[in-house]
Chains A and B, each alone.
Chain A
Amino acid sequence: MASNEQTPVLEVKGLQTSFFTPDGEVKAVDGVDFSVNSNETLGIVGESGSGKSITSLSVMRLIQHPGKIVGGTIELSGEDLLKKSKQQFAKYRGNRLSMIFQEPMTSLNPVFTVGSQIAEAVRIHKKLDKKAAWQEAVNMLKLVGIPAPEDRAKRYPHELSGGMRQRVMIAIALSCDPELLIADEPTTALDVTIQAQILELIKELQEKSGMAVLMITHDLGVIAETADKVVVMYAGEVVEQADVKTLFKRPLHPYTQGLMNAIPRHDIDLDELEMIPGTVPTPQNMPSGCRFAERCPYARELCVEKHPELATPSNNVDEGITTGQTRCWIYTDEWDGPNPTKGVATNQ
């Protein structure tokens, strides 16, 4: 793992992204921090409405009206991306940082061949001529494991299967050798056997190029298999962060614990799934205390009244156990009750 002195490829600090609707400001992302080093995969996990996708779109500066990044910094290898002008940033996007999306069909242009779409990216960023760019496109298709790449480059997106299209998207994203790849639910629309192929491919390409990967997903299984570090988001905030082994061994936040116990597993039998009661609070009536309090089985008065900070636990964690950071009152010195999570740990 990287040493402390290494500049992270991506460092996000205090990111705030809001949408200004007729009903008022909706804080979709509210003070999010994380960093990713080269050769490292950071997983961001959360359910619908957690703000994970808005976070990734903010990094790519793809937030559209009425949305706006209202605070924080996003640094790519030490350069603040939010200070760049639109024109300057266009040179970064697709070049030094790129992104793949859930639904490749909607991200590919249906009226151009896939080869020409890869070649376009290469021509713009690498300044190659048409012929060289086409050749590069074919090479990229080969790299992402598409059989008969010369022939497939001449095909249109609709002529390819879902898995193939996602490979094309990856080819476009990686054509300029980015430092950072953002994968937003890259396999959610794919069947499991194809998902396995795509995840393997991303891992393989990362080993070759040393790029940093930001893996956005709702699937804790995908996180467990791909990520080195994990950020758990809930209602626009980071509620827990840890390296992947620590997180699954000792999840701290009651939300993370609930999430892990709610997944039906194909490898073990569970009598009953643990339910997280209720639903995610809407941004219009966001609680002023802990945002998870009304669904939390352990919530006390303190939780409803005061908003907790993301911190390393100083209370209610057995000595000698490695943990990450969490945003929960239970693990602070202010907690005035017994340790409710004692013995609550999955995957022991």
Chain B
Amino acid sequence: MTTPLFEAKNLQKYFPVKGGILNRTQAQVKAVDDVSFAINPGETLSIVGESGCGKSTTGRAILRLDDPTDGEILFEGQNLMELSKSDLRQKRKEMQIIFQDPYASLNPRQKVKQILDEAMAIQGVVPKAKRPERIRELMEVVGLRPEQAERYPFQFSGGQRQRIGIARALSVDPKLIVCDEAVSALDVSTQAQVLNLLKKLQKDLDLTYLFISHDLGVVRHISDRVIVMYLGKIVEIADKKDLFDSPRHPYTRALLSAIPIPDPSKTRERIVLQGDVPSPMNPPSGCRFHTRCPFATDICKTEEPELRSTTFMNETHKAACHHIEKIAETEKTSIV
């Protein structure tokens, strides 16, 4: 068993909802509610889910960009929650993040070389004299021409800007990179370029990724393991193959069946979920998915299901559902 590079234990992130004359906290949005997982060195762990499921909040919470409400976050065994601000800043060079919209996360008034230089200066990873050389190197690593470092962000296309975002993250030699919807704003042809780049960099530089995305196609392509979240909870976690070939949670199954396949000759049964995702301010009791679940029974309304595995599942494959066995039974009769 490898020691995980990173571990989150019972992570919680609640956002207070304030109101009234005294501006007191009237309710809590439980964006991330008791989430635990580990990331092994060199792997890509993905978190998928729809808007509001807490996937991005998880990504921000583990870097303490938003301080978690409760729980532990361990990086190489060290609890980040106990670090002071300055120690945390030191630690951040090990953990970087790439955002969805590279334009919003790059300073429009800085040239690319200044953007990269600043990142290295703050972390003090490369002595000033050597930085120009390192900038040239970084530009080449992400597939841009070194002389383009003299340009401003607006002079680049979307895909190129995302490459700059990646170069910035790489400039401090991180071990873990959180990619928060890093390719979602890109066209498919550019998306493929950036995905291939991320894969190559992982191999060359021994990087570990936490890849946050709503796009299951992208996730299948890049991940080793996948977490599916729904309303602040993990509903299923598995190796990529298990998750896509034999999803166990009814939500995962519905999610997979809802994605249009770019092949009109393939027909399959679609599970269309009724209704919308309930508000995370007032999540349903018991299993949070029970209001939309075609298999829900009384126990789902009252008892919260635990993440568990059963005899016919791999050890690493866990789903939070009371009816895994029953659903597997129905599947035997009608294979999707």
Identify the closest chain A residue to B50 (Cβ): A191
Nearest residue (CB) in A for B218 is: A264
Taking a contact as CB atoms under 8 Å apart, the answer to whether A195 and B265 are in contact is no
**Is there a chain B Cβ closer than 8 Å to A248's Cβ?**
yes
Distance, CA A251 to CA B302, complexed state (A)? 52
Contact B196 A221 (CB under 8 A): no
Whether, in the assembled complex, A86 has its beta carbon less than 8 Å from a beta carbon of chain B, the answer is no
Q: Answer yes or no: A128 CB below 8 A from chain B CBs.
A: no
Complex Cα spacing A197 to B272, Å: 7
Cβ of A301 within 8 Å of any chain B Cβ, yes or no, is: no
Q: How many whole Å from B72's CB to the nearest CB in chain A? A: 31
State in angstroms the CA–CA spacing of A275 and B190 once bound together: 8
A161, closest chain B residue (CB): B276
- Which residues on A sit within 8 Å (CB–CB) of B157? 279
Contact B188–A263 (Cβ < 8 Å): yes
Among A196, A260, A270, A273, point to the contact of B258 (Cβ < 8 A).
A196
For B217, list chain A residues within 8 Å (CB): 263-266
Instruction: Report Cα–Cα, A265/B222, bound state, in Å.
Output: 11
Is the beta-carbon distance between B195 and A273 smaller than 8 angstroms? yes
* Cβ of A132 to closest chain B Cβ, rounded Å: 31
**Pairwise interchain contact A218-B270, C-beta atoms closer than 8 A:** no
A275 touches B193 (CB 8 A): yes
Query: In the complex, which residues of chain B have a beta carbon less than 8 angstroms from the beta carbon of A222?
Result: 260
The residues of A that contact B144 with a CB separation of less than 8 Å are none
Interface residues of A in 114-138 (CB under 8 A from B): none
Interface of chain A residues 2 through 46 with chain B (CB within 8 A): none
In the bound complex, CA of A342 to CA of B220 (Å)? 29
Contacts of B263 in A (CB 8 A): 224, 248, 347
Q: Chain A binding site: helix, strand, loop or mixed by DSSP?
A: helix
Q: Is B149 an interface residue (CB 8 A)?
A: no
Q: Among B160, B188, B219, B261, point to the contact of A259 (Cβ < 8 A).
A: B188
Q: Which of A190-221 contact B (CB under 8 A)?
A: 191-197, 199-200, 218-221
- Per-residue CB proximity of B71-113 to A under 8 Å, as 1/0? 0000000000000000000000000000000000000000000
Task: Flag whether A47 is at the interface (Cβ < 8 A).
Answer: yes
- Evaluate contact between B187 and A266: CB separation under 8 angstroms: no
Q: Is residue B15 within 8 Å, beta carbon to beta carbon, of the partner chain?
A: no
Instruction: Scan A156-182; emit 1 where CB is below 8 A from any B CB, else 0.
Output: 000001111000000000000000000
B171-192 vs A, Cβ < 8 Å mask (1 yes, 0 no):
0000000000000000111111
Shortest distance between the CB of B111 and any CB in chain A (Å): 21
The winner among A48, A219, A265 for most chain B CB atoms within 10 A is A265
- B216 contact set on A, CB distance < 8 A: 192, 266
Question: B51: CB under 8 A from chain A?
Answer: yes
For the complex, is B266 an interface residue (Cβ under 8 Å from A)? yes
Q: How many A-B residue pairs have CB under 8 A?
A: 124
> Is the beta-carbon distance between A245 and B264 smaller than 8 angstroms?
yes
Residues of B within 8 A of A164 (CB): 276
Per the bound structure, the CA–CA distance linking A116 and B214 in Å amounts to 35
Chain B, residues 255-269, CB within 8 Å of chain A (1/0): the string is 110111111111000
Q: How long is the Cα–Cα vector from A253 to B254 in the complex, in angstroms?
A: 34
Q: Which residues of B lie under 8 Å from residue A197 when comparing CB positions?
A: 272-273
Which of A163, A259, A347 is in CB contact (< 8 Å) with B189?
A: A259
Number of interface residues of B (CB under 8 A): 43
The complex places the Cα of A192 from the Cα of B259 at a distance, in Å, of 6
The distance from the CB of A19 to the nearest CB of chain B, in whole angstroms, is 19
- In the complex, the answer to whether B192 meets A267 with C-beta atoms within 8 Å is no
- A223: chain B residues at CB < 8 Å are 262
In this assembly, does B159 line the interface, its C-beta being within 8 Å of a C-beta of chain A?
yes
* Chain B window 271-289, contacts with chain A (Cβ cutoff 8 Å), 1 for yes, 0 for no: 0110011000000000000
Q: How many Å from the CB of B225 to the closest CB on chain A?
A: 15
CB contact list, B178-236 vs A, under 8 A = 187-193, 195-196, 199, 214-222
CA distance A274 to B189 in the complex (A): 8
Residues of B within 8 A of A272 (CB): 196, 199
- Chain A residues, Cβ within 8 Å of B195: 264, 273
Is residue B244 within 8 Å, beta carbon to beta carbon, of the partner chain? yes
* Binary A-proximity of B115-132 (CB < 8 A = 1, otherwise 0): 000000000000000000
Report yes or no: A275 in contact with B261, Cβ–Cβ below 8 A: no
> If A161-B276, A258-B189, A264-B217 touch, does A224 touch B261 (CB 8 Å cutoff)?
yes
Other than the known A260-B262, A266-B216, what 19 A-B pairs have Cβ atoms closer than 8 Å? Answer: A47-B187, A48-B187, A161-B276, A191-B277, A192-B255, A193-B258, A194-B276, A195-B260, A197-B272, A220-B188, A221-B261, A223-B262, A224-B262, A264-B192, A264-B217, A266-B219, A270-B221, A272-B196, A273-B192
Chain A to chain B: the 8 pairs with minimum beta-carbon distance, closest first:
A221-B260, A191-B50, A264-B221, A276-B189, A273-B192, A47-B187, A220-B262, A262-B192
Q: Taking beta carbons and an 8 Å cutoff, which residues of B are in contact with A?
A: 50-51, 157-160, 187-193, 195-196, 199, 214-222, 244, 254-256, 258-266, 270, 272-273, 276-277
27 contacts between A and B (CB under 8 A): A193-B273, A196-B270, A196-B273, A197-B272, A221-B261, A221-B262, A222-B260, A224-B260, A224-B263, A224-B264, A225-B264, A245-B265, A248-B263, A262-B188, A263-B188, A264-B191, A264-B192, A264-B215, A264-B217, A264-B222, A265-B220, A266-B219, A269-B220, A273-B195, A277-B193, A279-B157, A347-B265
